[in-house]
Structure 1
Amino acid sequence: MNTKRLKIWSIAAICVLSACSKDYLDINKNPNKPSNVTPGLVLTNALNSTAASTTGSTEFYAFSAAWIGYWNFSGAVAAFAEERSYQFTSNYGPLVNIWNNLYHNLEDYDYVGRKGLELKNPFYVAVSKTMKVYDFHNLVDIYNNIPYSEALKSTAVIRPAYDKAQDIYEDLAKQLDTAASLFKANIGKVSTSDGAFDVMYKGDALKWGRFANTLKLRLLLRQSEMPGRAGYINSEIAKINANGMGYIGIEKDGGAFVNPGYTNSDGKQNPFWANFGYSPANAPVNNHRYYIASEYAINFYQNNNDPRLGKLYTTLNDGKGTTYSGSRFGPTATSPADDPINRSSIGRGLLKGADMSQPLLTDFESLFLQAEAAQRGYISGAARGFYEQAVTQNFSYLGAEGVTAYLAQSDISNWDLATDKLKLIITQKWAAMNGINDMESWADFRRLNIPADIPVSDNPAATTRKIPVRMLYPQSEYNYNPDNVLAQGQISQFTSRIFWDVN
């Protein structure tokens, strides 16, 4: 491990052991008198925490991976009753943890932004705005209306009001416009010392600008099925075009990846690897045994001669077998057939190594977004070109071969043969996002119902046989912010839709 990585891990450790993370309702912290911590130190920890609490976390896959048809639950553990039945309460672990972790993370980015203003450092201000959007939009996509304008104010507002989700989205777009302008003005101007704290882009303001633009495109496309939003989307994309930095494309770093110096030792592994892969002694961690392949996904990749199958999943018994097998979604884990030795596990195209960088937004996701936007007429360029580049880059990321033949073979992948181009784009996006960001696939399914044949749980306790459309609010809100959360009305995971979910 080189000296620079050791330095970064030391910085992250200092932040973790100090008070870098805090609740947005934490009455022990005064945002007007913050600890005088260098913003770069907090930024390093904040980016690492984002990776660990979103795409690298257990929570981002615990329910979405099963509900969207990627993974199921093995017979190695008698658990996951809530996920199998769709029946959960406001104390359900993943919904509580996602809420708490993202608001903690937002406090850190808010501090970075305030210190950036104080120090007249536009780079920290722009990164703060961008990453706060990343966290807030995830919160909206999971819970709908949330504390926003009155959040992050500590003792000034200990019971923050809830803002309407669409209003939040519109303000997030404005924040990204401001961030993009700051990044553009500071291309090539970020100091080496500030860049050293940036464990995603190392101070490259142009790459940060492309990330901000791509994140905004994601937000805009969320709203593409809403009646009357086309004019708004077009006007907002015109602002992206005006800054001239473009979107994440085919780049050697593959998009937005966090890596503070992950290595194969306790507490320093890549978070996705640590949660779903192997210990430093190369023993499968519990989740690697608990999460197995979905029968639906195995059939999809096999039936379509998809070379990504062997990268997304192992053969039976964690690669010791010669065939692939997944389980159907629903039954309580009592059958020996669902023991991990009889099913496929998470593959090495996803589990690359303990030192792998953690993706927040990949180039292939960006290209799929651009393909959809071009197909809808929102951006210039050939939708086919974006689409084929997206599939190609996903093959490359996973280490799969044969993409040219795959793109030519059938209407499940061949542009010319597909009668419904949007369905083609989103189906292949689903196939690509497996184990990368399952929340994105859940969002696409909610807004577009693609793939339409995602299996619904047949668990006996699943009295409502429908994939949930949202999470409930955590019980802590009912305990400590009751008036504001109760004002949101009776919340149902089946009928209380996110504002952009209109289909």
Structure 2
Amino acid sequence: MKNKHIIYATLVLVSALSLASCTKTDFDDNYYDPERSVYADVPKLFTGLLYNHDRRSAHNIFPRYFHFFTFRVPMLGTYSQTYGYQSANGRYEQNPAYTQDYWSLFYTSYVASYRELQRHIEASSPEEQEGYRLFQETANIFFYDQATQVVDMWGDIPFFEAGQLVQSGGVIRNAPFDSQEEIYSFILNDLKRIADWLNTAEITPFYKSMFNGADILNEGDIEGWKIYANSLRLRLAMRISYQNDAKAREIAAEIINNPSVYPIITNNQNSVKIDARGDQLRSVVVDDGAGIRGGLESGGRNIAPGVMINEYMNPANDPRLYAMFSRNREGQYRGLDPTLTSTQQADLISANMISRLDSATYSTNDKYPGILITAAEISFFKAEAAERWGVGNAAEEYERGIRQSIDFIYYINSLNDNADGTSYTPKTPPTPAAINAFLSHNLIRYEGSQEERLEKIGIQRWINFGVMQAHQAWAEYRRTKYPALTFSRDNNSVQAPEPPNRLLYPENERMYNAENYNAVRAYDTPQNKVFWDVK
């Protein structure tokens, strides 16, 4: 009998266009297969879900050219002010071609891979299904992470019936849009179920050996998958915490108060990330259309953000400045002020008066990992939970998060192995005395009213995300309204004089899934908010 716990959601390609363009040959070719085999079995499909090699230029876990150049930096980095965008006309407008690309990547890569993996498992014998259950449950965790990111950007999405062709009389039935709140609720509940199963699962050596070779994320470490499931569940609980305080509080308390049952990330060593090991997983600094360098250095994508540096990091002598940004021609750290006119900004940039992202840490670092969840992010969530609900010690978690953030950025910097041919020496991490002095600065010290303390947590979480995790920075900014960012109005734009609260559905969805799109048409405006954005 098939395992009743294998996720019943039938997830599929949303538009007829996407379905028609995704042939079996395309599908097989899109998998990252370390052995270059053309046979798609469960282990290879699992690896393919975690890392789709032939879509690497648009990959949204590892830093890659296309995704950063077109989507994450110019749109999400602008909406979260995690990079120094210029005050050009249309600066807040969404590029429909690139939002379409991201949407299509999710459905034709992640959803399609996930469903093909599930199909193979369900087609196997009952004994094999039980053995493959480890692949299915851990795939669920990873897939839920990707799916909730899409919800965070768009709101309602096709989810429960997306991913499998459903035909009636030869006519394809496209998937309906599902309630974003219902998707979140389902995933929060299922992550708990998965975590409980991982705590008691008895895995045979045969399938464990298979899993070890396929798991490029945790390299077969089951504890790492427990940590991923529980850390993701904590993130999602905090994401809904202003919309459903009682449920978020209950989940956070259950996880934080029971670390032996529900382990979460506690240090940078067990952060959830895919390390850039081997030729396939490296970032390709010599840009072949896939690498990170062109994505960050072309078109000013590496310009340093004004508010982050000028108002928060520089005044407090933040130790992360040295590893995150370069100095301007006068030896100073200075970000691009978003309230200046485009002419004023252009003059400052051309005069080399504005800092850039540190190239050794970011654009020439071909070992930059694919980051999913960091230790600092979890510590800041724990600090917030402690501050709001008394779950733990807020000051300790806040300071721990800052220390972890500092340590992690210097670790990232140290990974650079000069693959681009430059001569580079890793930055020297700050001394304990320098870090202690930073923590005692009045802008950083954990003191003030509860609102002021929550703001400090939010600011540090935002800095920790930076432009590399602009999608998370934008979500947390909308959820908490920290930091208090100011956006100058673009009166030349009719579509978006101000930053949007959500992304607009792609044109292909409106055209090829019209019947289901009509059910959410009224919601499809940039002014409407995702369900957890209530503060």
Post-superposition shift, 1:42? 2.2
CA contact (8 A) 2:377 2:401 kept: yes
State the Cα deviation string for residues 392-425 of structure 1 (Å, max 9, x = none): 0000011252322111111x21113565321121
- Structure 2 CA distance for partners of 1:268 and 1:170, relative to 1, 3 Å: closer
Distance in 2 of aligned mates of 1:296 and 1:134: 29
State the Cα deviation string for residues 83-110 of structure 1 (Å, max 9, x = none): x1x234xx62332122111222122123
- Structure 1 residues 93-102 or 106-115, which shifts more? 106-115
Post-superposition shift, 1:55? 6.1
- Structure 2 CA distance for partners of 1:115 and 1:384, relative to 1, 3 Å: farther
Give the partner amino acid of 1:428: Q
Q: Does 1:370 align with 2:373?
A: no
Which runs of structure 2 are paired with 1:38-77 in the superposition (5 Å)? 38-49=41-52, 52-54=59-61, 56=63, 57-58=67-68, 59-73=71-85
- Structure 2 CA distance for partners of 1:175 and 1:352, relative to 1, 3 Å: farther
- Structure 2 CA distance for partners of 1:326 and 1:237, relative to 1, 3 Å: closer
Indicate which of 263, 269, 279 corresponds to 2:282: 269
Indicate which of 430, 440, 444 corresponds to 1:413: 444
Indicate which of 191, 202, 205 corresponds to 2:208: 191
- Structure 2 CA distance for partners of 1:268 and 1:220, relative to 1, 3 Å: closer
- Structure 2 CA distance for partners of 1:81 and 1:188, relative to 1, 3 Å: farther
Task: Say how many residue pairs are matched.
Answer: 456
**Aligned residue in 2 for 1:4:** none
State the Cα deviation string for residues 228-275 of structure 1 (Å, max 9, x = none): x2332344446646780321111424x111136354xxx763279967
- Structure 1 residues 440-449 or 55-64, which shifts more? 55-64
In the superposition, the TM-score normalised over structure 1's length comes to 0.81
- Structure 2 CA distance for partners of 1:273 and 1:216, relative to 1, 3 Å: farther
**Aligned residue in 1 for 2:146:** 135
Post-superposition shift, 1:288? 7.2
State the Cα deviation string for residues 170-224 of structure 1 (Å, max 9, x = none): 0111221232133223488662332122111001111111111111111111111
Which runs of structure 2 are paired with 1:291-370 in the superposition (5 Å)? 291-299=302-310, 300-316=312-328, 322-329=331-338, 331-332=341-342, 335-339=346-350, 341-347=352-358, 348-351=360-363, 353-370=365-382
- Structure 2 CA distance for partners of 1:315 and 1:493, relative to 1, 3 Å: farther
Structure 2 unaligned residues grouped into runs of 5+: 1-11, 29-37, 411-428
Where 1:451 maps in the other structure, the secondary structure is: coil
Indicate which of 100, 105, 109 corresponds to 2:104: 100
Where 1:291 maps in the other structure, the secondary structure is: coil
Where 1:360 maps in the other structure, the secondary structure is: strand
Distance in 2 of aligned mates of 1:273 and 1:46: 26
**Aligned residue in 1 for 2:247:** 232
**Aligned residue in 1 for 2:218:** 201
Give the partner amino acid of 1:43: F
**Aligned residue in 2 for 1:483:** 515
Where 1:325 maps in the other structure, the secondary structure is: coil
CA contact (8 A) 1:116 1:123 kept: no
Where 2:217 maps in the other structure, the secondary structure is: coil
Indicate which of 174, 186, 205 corresponds to 1:171: 186
In the superposition, the TM-score normalised over structure 2's length comes to 0.76
Where 2:272 maps in the other structure, the secondary structure is: strand
**Aligned residue in 2 for 1:219:** 236
Indicate which of 71, 87, 93 corresponds to 1:87: 93
Q: Does 1:110 align with 2:121?
A: no
Q: Does 1:461 align with 2:474?
A: no
CA contact (8 A) 1:130 1:176 kept: yes
Give the partner amino acid of 1:165: Q
Post-superposition shift, 1:476? 0.5
- Structure 2 CA distance for partners of 1:406 and 1:39, relative to 1, 3 Å: same
- Structure 1 residues 217-226 or 236-245, which shifts more? 236-245
Distance in 2 of aligned mates of 1:433 and 1:441: 6
Distance in 2 of aligned mates of 1:340 and 1:276: 28
Post-superposition shift, 1:36? 6.1
Distance in 1 of aligned mates of 2:266 and 2:286: 26
CA contact (8 A) 1:262 1:355 kept: no
Cα-Cα RMSD: 3.2
Q: Does 1:386 align with 2:397?
A: yes
**Aligned residue in 2 for 1:435:** 467
Give the partner amino acid of 2:82: Y
Distance in 2 of aligned mates of 1:373 and 1:442: 20
Give the partner amino acid of 1:71: Y
Post-superposition shift, 1:60? 2.5
CA contact (8 A) 2:382 2:397 kept: yes
Post-superposition shift, 1:159? 1.2
Distance in 2 of aligned mates of 1:271 and 1:427: 32
- Structure 2 CA distance for partners of 1:260 and 1:68, relative to 1, 3 Å: closer
- Structure 1 residues 114-123 or 196-205, which shifts more? 114-123
Distance in 2 of aligned mates of 1:353 and 1:211: 25
CA contact (8 A) 2:304 2:325 kept: yes
Where 2:440 maps in the other structure, the secondary structure is: helix
- Structure 2 CA distance for partners of 1:72 and 1:211, relative to 1, 3 Å: same
CA contact (8 A) 1:248 1:363 kept: yes
Give the partner amino acid of 2:104: N
**Aligned residue in 1 for 2:415:** none
Structure 1 unaligned residues grouped into runs of 5+: 1-21
**Aligned residue in 2 for 1:16:** none
CA contact (8 A) 1:472 1:491 kept: no
Give the partner amino acid of 1:134: D
